[in-house]
Amino acid sequence: MFGFELKQTDDGGVVRRGTLRTRHGSVETPAFMPVGSLGTVKGLGPEDVERLGFGLILNNAYHLSLRPGHGLVASMGGLHTFTGWPGAILTDSGGFQVFSLAKLRTVAEDGVTFQSHIDGSLHHLTPERSIEIQEQLGADIIMAFDECVALPSPPQAVQEAMERTGRWARRCLSAKRRTDQALFGIVQGGADASLRLASAQDLVSLRFDGYAIGGLSVGEEKSVMHRVLDTVAPVLPTDRPRYLMGVGMPEDLVEGVARGIDMFDCVVPTRHGRTGWLFTSFGRVLIKQARYARDEQAIDPACGCEVCRRFSRAYLHHLFLSKEMLGVRLNTLHNLSYFADLMRRMRLAIESGRFAQFRREFYVARESVCSAPGGDPDAMPGPADRSREEAC
């Protein structure tokens, strides 16, 4: 039912090209997952996401358990029937909310008690309960319940969270009943290389269907993220998919693939679309700026997406300033098209044995904007948006 085939490697065997097989179709890797925490990729319908070339999206088990409720979703035939999404679905376990809802939760060995951000009610989420919720939702890939901490955090807190994540991982494996869902373990350990290595080795011994690297993009510098990936990825099994959670600026995807990562998710393309930031082959464009009011060019003349083929920067500028819903939709379509194309081009580069060249050219294209006379530094990528899809 679920499987991963490693098809090809590049750059000394580190960079990977593969295929994920799920109940709802195959997904070519490296792959990016658009985030639809509440059962929808904001502003788009399932047919839009499918047309852009995505075969796998992320939904959030914690938020769906609060509203509309996992029982209701199960009674409606599961997430695929309920949402109308024909492709594969991965559900986050609620572990990220241990970080993002830190002011509304209490952690204990048994699990985490959350105070609902919706109505203030209390909800106790244990590893067993997280698996039960995800099984009722019916995702193709489900995640072990983990404890994600902010960075920096006191070393003792990081170690305790890592060790607890390992204990919870065993409970998740014991609680799993459905055989048609893949279960991924999540490596924790903050920025400490020894803790990360211990966590990875412990989880590998449990033989999960796949392995995620969590607890990154939570306040650390990108160099720290790279060091963690350099430590963890080499010890993960080559025959299992590797998933870097919640990381998604374009340069993060390139650097993740360069270090052997197969799967990514992040709200960056959708959230940036809603705030008027548009990704291009030369950096970012902030469409609300006055310079675009009479600009007849496409967002990115090198882009072949439906938005760039049809609409000008001037029109998108007008829509955004007018707060028209169409503006957010078009921005989101363009950004996700950019991300889909970026992943496609990386897969092709790996297939042809030229990923290192692709990586160099990716940065050269961006640097040329700032180094050229009249270059626009505002168009270049800024700090990563470190938040996830949830408002909380």
User: Are 171 and 112 part of one and the same domain?
Assistant: yes
**Catalytic residue from among 10, 11, 140, 265:** 265
pLDDT in tens, 131-145: 999 999 999 999 999
Domain containing residue 228: CATH number = 3.20.20.105
Confirm if 8 and 72 have CB atoms less than 8 A apart. no
Q: Quick one: average pLDDT of 63-89?
A: 98
User: Are 196 and 61 part of one and the same domain?
Assistant: yes
In a domain, 376, yes or no: no
Neighbours of 48 (CB within 10 A): 17
User: Are 206 and 282 part of one and the same domain?
Assistant: no
In a domain, 379, yes or no: no
User: Are 14 and 132 part of one and the same domain?
Assistant: yes
User: Are 210 and 290 part of one and the same domain?
Assistant: no
pLDDT at residue 1, as a whole number: 83
User: Are 276 and 262 part of one and the same domain?
Assistant: no
Query: Does the model's pTM come out above 0.75?
Result: yes
Integer angstrom CA distances of residue 345 from 79, 253, 254, 380: 30, 12, 11, 20
User: Are 124 and 244 part of one and the same domain?
Assistant: yes
Over its C-alpha atoms, the chain yields an Rg (Å, rounded) of 20
User: Are 127 and 241 part of one and the same domain?
Assistant: yes
User: Are 257 and 165 part of one and the same domain?
Assistant: yes
Number of domains in the chain: 2
φ/ψ of residue 23, rounded to 5: -60, -25
pLDDT at residue 367, as a whole number: 80
User: Are 219 and 205 part of one and the same domain?
Assistant: yes
In a domain, 375, yes or no: no
pLDDT in tens, 336-371: 999 999 999 999 999 999 999 999 999 999 886 544
User: Are 162 and 257 part of one and the same domain?
Assistant: yes
In a domain, 184, yes or no: yes
Last residue of a domain, one of 266, 300, 334: 266
Last residue of a domain, one of 249, 266, 283: 266
In a domain, 95, yes or no: yes
pLDDT at residue 369, as a whole number: 57
pLDDT at residue 12, as a whole number: 96
User: Are 330 and 237 part of one and the same domain?
Assistant: no
Query: Which residues constitute the domain of residue 58?
Result: 3-266
**Catalytic residue from among 10, 92, 140, 262:** 92
In a domain, 388, yes or no: no
Q: Quick one: average pLDDT of 21-48?
A: 98
In a domain, 377, yes or no: no
- Annotated catalytic, 265? yes
- Annotated catalytic, 92? yes
Last residue of a domain, one of 241, 266, 291: 266
In a domain, 384, yes or no: no
pLDDT at residue 370, as a whole number: 47
What's the per-residue H, E or C state across 156-211?
HHHHHHHHHHHHHHHHHHHHCCCCCCEEEEEECCCCCHHHHHHHHHHHHCCCCCEE
